[in-house]
Amino acid sequence: MANGGPEIEQLIQLMARLPGLGPRSARRAVLQLIKKKDQLMIPLSAALDRAVAAVCTCEVCGNVDTRSPCSICADPRRAESGMLIVVEDVADLWALERAGVGAVRYHVLGGVLSPLDGVGPDDIAIDGLIARAPEFAEIVLAVNATVEGQTTAHYITDRLAGLNLTITRLAHGVPVGGELDYLDEGTLSQALRARTHI
């Protein structure tokens, strides 16, 4: 293969390891980078350099940011709601922020309990959560609706018992804009049970 030198080949191999890109699309992406060297390749290279230097994990909540405590933990207005949303992953935190859930704080577990995969309570950020919890009035367990997610939610609920806290979870129901026909039975029956007045 004469794909233009080891520098290009190595760039393709690294790009191919990004989620959503395979070997073929990584080649196309690299070719695009090379074609748009000034508009895309050089800015991307500079942005990566800056991100490598700046990005760190927040020691309070586990969010990624360029400061620790992160901008969410450092924002005093976010303390007022008294709400702490517990998520599995930083991506979930970003999704909730995009949804504009309000001036809340987060705790990123960095995974879920999974005995089969050898993930126990000490492998995810549960101790940090228990330590922070008394500062808040309500803990929302926004873990995924998977078996592992629900196991983790049960475990956290047990650990938080005794503290005078409201513990909640996200509502199940029909996604906004979703069609009933495509929904699984579990979601539909939960949506019916939790029906609301119009």
Q: Is 97 in the site for a copy of itself (CB under 8 A)?
A: yes
Asked if 64 interacts with a copy of itself (CB under 8 A), we say: yes
Is position 98 an interface residue for a copy of itself (rule: CB under 8 A)?
A: yes
Taking 3-state DSSP, the helix, strand and coil percentages for the chain, each rounded to the nearest 5, stand at 50, 10, 40
- CA distance to 2, 107, 190, per residue, from 172 (Å): 53, 21, 6
Distance CA 43, CA 76 (A): 34
Please say which residue, 33 or 156, places its beta carbon nearer to a copy of itself. 33
Q: Binding residue for a copy of itself (CB under 8 A) from 4, 120, 134, 175? A: 4
Kindly state the tokens that stand for 149.
């997610």
Nearer to a copy of itself, 32 or 189 (CB): 32
Please count the residues of this chain forming the interface with a copy of itself, following the rule CB under 8 A. Answer: 54
Ordered alpha helix ranges (H), the chain: 5-15, 23-35, 42-54, 90-98, 126-132, 147-160, 185-193
Residue 117 in the binding site for a copy of itself (CB under 8 A): no
CA separation for the pair 99, 144 (Å, rounded): 16
Half-sphere exposure of 11 (CA within 13 A, CB side): 17
Candidate residues 29, 101, 130, 160; the one interacting with a copy of itself per rule CB under 8 A:
29
Per-residue b or e along 89-126, where b marks 16 or more CB atoms closer than 10 Å to that residue's CB: bbebbeebeeeeeeebbbbbbbebbbeeeebeeeebbb
Q: Which stretch binds a copy of itself (CB under 8 A): 8-16, 124-132, 145-153, 176-184?
A: 8-16
Query: Does 10 engage in binding with a copy of itself (CB under 8 A)?
Result: yes
Among the listed ranges 88-96, 116-124, 149-157, 186-194, the one in contact with a copy of itself (CB under 8 A) is: 88-96
Which one of the spans 27-35, 80-88, 160-168, 178-186 is the region binding a copy of itself (CB under 8 A)? 27-35
Which parts of this chain interact with a copy of itself (CB under 8 A)?
1-8, 10-11, 14-15, 17-21, 25, 27-34, 37, 40-45, 47-52, 54-55, 63-67, 70-72, 90-91, 94, 97-98
